[in-house]
Chain A
């Protein structure tokens, strides 16, 4: 299998990032998840991405619903605020918070149950509004926290330990997000940390909702033979769209590849995503093609990973609302209260 990532620049990892923080400054509390749970692997890459991108932890707001996955914001970035909301309702809470302060860097963590079952309606409307934040679905095909019932992303024919077989078709959250016009759609795999960290960095650089569906095996309830969301199955069926490299805006690295071999996408903040073709020339900016490719992968039983769709210039909800740059949350009373004349005008109309 090909490498999922491109080596760009020096591989050397500094002891401190550009704002003088250490990786440990991005750590969270001790995980209480089962040893080997995919969700923990994702938390580790979140720590790494935010550290390497030199994001000030205090600027980050973490959101989640309910589930094992939704517990994880407690396990990364202790220095950031977190809101562990209720089941399936993280999008509404996050939308409100981001509207009140769009200077926050929002990251939502949810599960396949939290998102694709009870929270599907809110998830879809969050995409439609393009709220600028990261939305990670830690997808294990089951409700881990309530002891392993099938979720709506469980593959047809997948088998539980108890022998129960899922006979409903899975919901493909990437296809759904593309269909709804999401400007950043990716799929990762908890067993491929290097790809994961690059996807996350690109998501941090994106201005708009970044939906990342991560196949994240539940070692306790869905990691056996017969499961299609086990580590073994995912490794065997992982189909890479491309190799991913990420060049932050502050780095002047030139990437030397043969023409036609790589595709570069420039993000809102000037950083660049470099995608190197593996077998096919995949253009992630083409939404129609993305849907076709996802459908093909589904029919072929492949687990397609990589940057599925990118449309960095798509306007976010904040752009459309023309909100003042100063977050509502920090506006002073003088600026939020209407002047006397404005009130008088309203009153006059009521008279």
Chain B
């Protein structure tokens, strides 16, 4: 019996590969299993090849699996396109359509079990010509002991808007698949699990959107861009129903501008974009920073620069998020580590933006934003902080940009009697009047940057995994947490001492906590999905990473870091260290 199972279904548009993956992942989430579902597509908008990968587990999981335990292929030429992404395990079970014989290299591994099933023909025979995906689900459920009854009701649910005949035909297809799967006589492949309480199945984009609504965001402005558009779609549907407003602008300059305007007028406001859009938003983010206007920007990273790899993950907007823009421009960057954390990080982003009156970037990426994963049904709760508006006392002699110890000045909104001031992109004095005096500029810069110190004191956002003292400490951020955390667990289970540190707040960086972590580890490995080692270079601006004892594993995105890849990198450091120690001893 297996603790977990990773299955991929590959086909052309119309084969229903993704629909089958949806049904399977939904069903298993309802049964209380841990699920991570990812999808991949060819260049066509519609009708091209697609693949859907579902990882199921009875214990918590944090990343998509490196290799597949099972593969369903409707067309091998479609599979060819995903060959580098979908790696078959040595003893994987492969089911393919009898119409399309498997290429030799598929059966090359002796442990592999490759079976041809006449999916197309059987589906036609049971009267569900479009139901080969459902048939395949049946076969898979029989082989791996997946919850057949729950799958049946999910299939009914999926087709409930269709005629009774369609539902009937699909159920028949499922049964035919179950029979075909059972007839293969594969033993000991079953997934071991106990049904438990229902879990939510969400994407990171959904989690961010829900968080925004929950945090009180009532104005959203955005321009469609992959892989962030789902947030715009969600807001367009829900904000009007919740008494808010959603605006699709003509570009990202306008989107960010509208957000600054909405927030200036007193409404919690947000936008969402990806790299190319973030570039365009820099101008207005500078204005928000200078005029001290709260704003939340969700940036879903994709491969860059420029149009890059629109549907693939990378972590290479880091430097832009942290430094992008002209002038001395304080901003906050917070990076969620998984789907659930997309919710918490987005609420925190609003909390920080509203309290400290500055732009906050939620720096996530395609891998978190578009995969669906399970979370506990009660996990989406987070304390919400409201904007600190000017008090009657403040308004007596109103100074919008009053110099204060924590850098926060009283904020008024238009319409507030006594709270009038001129909002400015120009440097200004405490009342908001333009000033180009050197002394005033220095004082105002200091005040605006003091807010970052206050934030650093109040928020120490990071995750730490592994033993207190470790031979190796891995530092990563964002979506790389998943594979790193699984790698750390495996390494420790095999007797190594490896820990991981994942800052969630990137600006201001939790420097003391990182330094403490570095001191607890003999060696450091920085792991990230950038070609130019952006995280490593950024860390080095603020933290002393031990010379000669720090290694970097940075590679381009397009594919997330793999668990085995991280383990291999960790072992290289560990083994070399041991060798050195042996020589010294």
Report the minimal beta-carbon distance from A139 to chain B, rounded to whole angstroms: 16
Known: A34-B45, A149-B224. A117 touches B229 (CB 8 A): no
Known: A33-B45, A66-B307, A145-B45. A86 touches B276 (CB 8 A): yes
Which single member of A84, A146, A152 contacts B250 (CB below 8 Å)? Answer: A152
Interface status of B306 (Cβ within 8 A of chain A):
yes
Report the minimal beta-carbon distance from B251 to chain A, rounded to whole angstroms: 4
Interface status of B47 (Cβ within 8 A of chain A):
yes
Interface status of A150 (Cβ within 8 A of chain B):
yes
Report the minimal beta-carbon distance from A243 to chain B, rounded to whole angstroms: 35
Q: What range describes how many residues of B lie at the interface? A: 20 to 34
Chain B residues near A34: list those with CB within 8 A: 44-47
Q: What range describes how many residues of A lie at the interface? A: 20 to 34
Report the minimal beta-carbon distance from B508 to chain A, rounded to whole angstroms: 32
Which single member of A32, A87, A146, A150 contacts B44 (CB below 8 Å)? Answer: A32
Report the minimal beta-carbon distance from B280 to chain A, rounded to whole angstroms: 8
Interface status of B574 (Cβ within 8 A of chain A):
no
Report the minimal beta-carbon distance from B522 to chain A, rounded to whole angstroms: 46
Chain B residues near A33: list those with CB within 8 A: 44-45
Listed residue (A66, A84, A143, A146) with the most chain B CB atoms within 10 angstroms of its CB: A146
Q: 0/1 per residue, A229-249, Cβ < 8 Å to B?
A: 000000000000000000000
Q: 0/1 per residue, A208-241, Cβ < 8 Å to B?
A: 0000000000001000000000000000000000
Q: Are A146 and B226 in contact (CB under 8 A)?
A: yes
Interface residues of A in 136-169 (CB under 8 A from B): 143-147, 149-150, 152, 164
A180 vs B225: C-alpha distance in the bound complex, in angstroms?
30
Interface status of A35 (Cβ within 8 A of chain B):
yes
Chain A residues near B225: list those with CB within 8 A: 146
A86 vs B46: C-alpha distance in the bound complex, in angstroms?
23
Report the minimal beta-carbon distance from B112 to chain A, rounded to whole angstroms: 32
A164 vs B250: C-alpha distance in the bound complex, in angstroms?
18
Q: Are B45 and A147 in contact (CB under 8 A)?
A: yes
A68 vs B226: C-alpha distance in the bound complex, in angstroms?
13
A120 vs B254: C-alpha distance in the bound complex, in angstroms?
13
Chain A residues near B232: list those with CB within 8 A: 149
Nearest residue (CB) in B for A146 is B224
Interface status of A118 (Cβ within 8 A of chain B):
yes
Known: A86-B306, A146-B226. A35 touches B250 (CB 8 A): no
Report the minimal beta-carbon distance from A336 to chain B, rounded to whole angstroms: 30
Q: 0/1 per residue, B36-53, Cβ < 8 Å to A?
A: 000000111111100000
Specify the main secondary structure of chain B where it touches its partner. Answer: loop
Interface status of B223 (Cβ within 8 A of chain A):
yes
Q: Are B251 and A88 in contact (CB under 8 A)?
A: yes
Chain B residues near A87: list those with CB within 8 A: 276, 307
Interface status of B248 (Cβ within 8 A of chain A):
yes
Chain B residues near A35: list those with CB within 8 A: 47
Nearest residue (CB) in B for A65 is B307
Chain B residues near A146: list those with CB within 8 A: 224-226, 229
Known: A118-B223, A146-B224, A146-B229. A220 touches B46 (CB 8 A): yes
Q: Are A32 and B276 in contact (CB under 8 A)?
A: no
Listed residue (B45, B232, B251, B307) with the most chain A CB atoms within 10 angstroms of its CB: B45
Q: 0/1 per residue, B245-258, Cβ < 8 Å to A?
A: 00010111000000
A152 vs B236: C-alpha distance in the bound complex, in angstroms?
17
Chain A residues near B250: list those with CB within 8 A: 117-118, 120, 152
Chain B residues near A118: list those with CB within 8 A: 223, 250-252
Specify the main secondary structure of chain A where it touches its partner. Answer: loop
Chain A residues near B44: list those with CB within 8 A: 32-34
Known: A87-B276, A143-B224. A68 touches B307 (CB 8 A): no
Chain B residues near A143: list those with CB within 8 A: 224
Q: Are A144 and B45 in contact (CB under 8 A)?
A: yes
Chain A residues near B46: list those with CB within 8 A: 34, 220
Chain A residues near B229: list those with CB within 8 A: 146-147, 149
Chain B residues near A88: list those with CB within 8 A: 251
Nearest residue (CB) in A for B224 is A146
Report the minimal beta-carbon distance from A230 to chain B, rounded to whole angstroms: 16
Which single member of A84, A120, A144, A149 contacts B248 (CB below 8 Å)? Answer: A149
Report the minimal beta-carbon distance from B467 to chain A, rounded to whole angstroms: 46
Q: 0/1 per residue, B228-241, Cβ < 8 Å to A?
A: 01001000100000
Chain B residues near A86: list those with CB within 8 A: 276, 306-307
Nearest residue (CB) in B for A34 is B46
Nearest residue (CB) in A for B305 is A86
Known: A87-B276, A143-B224, A146-B224. A117 touches B45 (CB 8 A): no
Report the minimal beta-carbon distance from B381 to chain A, rounded to whole angstroms: 31
Nearest residue (CB) in A for B230 is A147
Report the minimal beta-carbon distance from A71 to chain B, rounded to whole angstroms: 8
Nearest residue (CB) in B for A142 is B224
Interface residues of A in 73-122 (CB under 8 A from B): 84, 86-88, 117-118, 120
A87 vs B277: C-alpha distance in the bound complex, in angstroms?
10
A146 vs B232: C-alpha distance in the bound complex, in angstroms?
12
Chain A residues near B43: list those with CB within 8 A: 32
Chain A residues near B236: list those with CB within 8 A: 164
Q: Are A150 and B251 in contact (CB under 8 A)?
A: no
A295 vs B237: C-alpha distance in the bound complex, in angstroms?
33
Nearest residue (CB) in A for B222 is A149
A33 vs B44: C-alpha distance in the bound complex, in angstroms?
6
Q: 0/1 per residue, B119-153, Cβ < 8 Å to A?
A: 00000000000000000000000000000000000
Interface residues of B in 399-433 (CB under 8 A from A): none
Nearest residue (CB) in B for A150 is B248
Report the minimal beta-carbon distance from B474 to chain A, rounded to whole angstroms: 35
Q: 0/1 per residue, A55-67, Cβ < 8 Å to B?
A: 0000000000010
Nearest residue (CB) in B for A147 is B229
A143 vs B226: C-alpha distance in the bound complex, in angstroms?
12
A292 vs B225: C-alpha distance in the bound complex, in angstroms?
37
A145 vs B46: C-alpha distance in the bound complex, in angstroms?
10
A32 vs B229: C-alpha distance in the bound complex, in angstroms?
22
A149 vs B225: C-alpha distance in the bound complex, in angstroms?
11
A143 vs B224: C-alpha distance in the bound complex, in angstroms?
8
A34 vs B44: C-alpha distance in the bound complex, in angstroms?
7
Nearest residue (CB) in A for B277 is A87
- Provide a sorted-by-A list of 21 A–B residue pairs whose CB atoms are within 8 angstroms: A32-B43, A32-B48, A33-B44, A33-B45, A34-B46, A34-B47, A35-B47, A86-B306, A117-B223, A117-B250, A118-B223, A118-B252, A144-B45, A145-B45, A146-B225, A147-B45, A147-B229, A149-B229, A164-B236, A220-B45, A220-B46
| Supplied contacts A32-B42, A34-B45, A147-B224, 19 more A-B pairs, CB within 8 Å | A32-B43, A32-B48, A34-B44, A34-B46, A34-B47, A35-B47, A84-B307, A86-B276, A118-B251, A143-B224, A144-B45, A146-B224, A146-B229, A147-B45, A149-B224, A149-B229, A149-B248, A152-B250, A220-B45
**Chain B residues close to A by CB (< 8 Å):** 42-48, 223-226, 229, 232, 236, 248, 250-252, 276, 306-307
Q: Which 6 A-B residue pairs are closest in the complex by CB-CB distance?
A: A118-B251, A146-B224, A117-B250, A32-B43, A220-B46, A34-B46
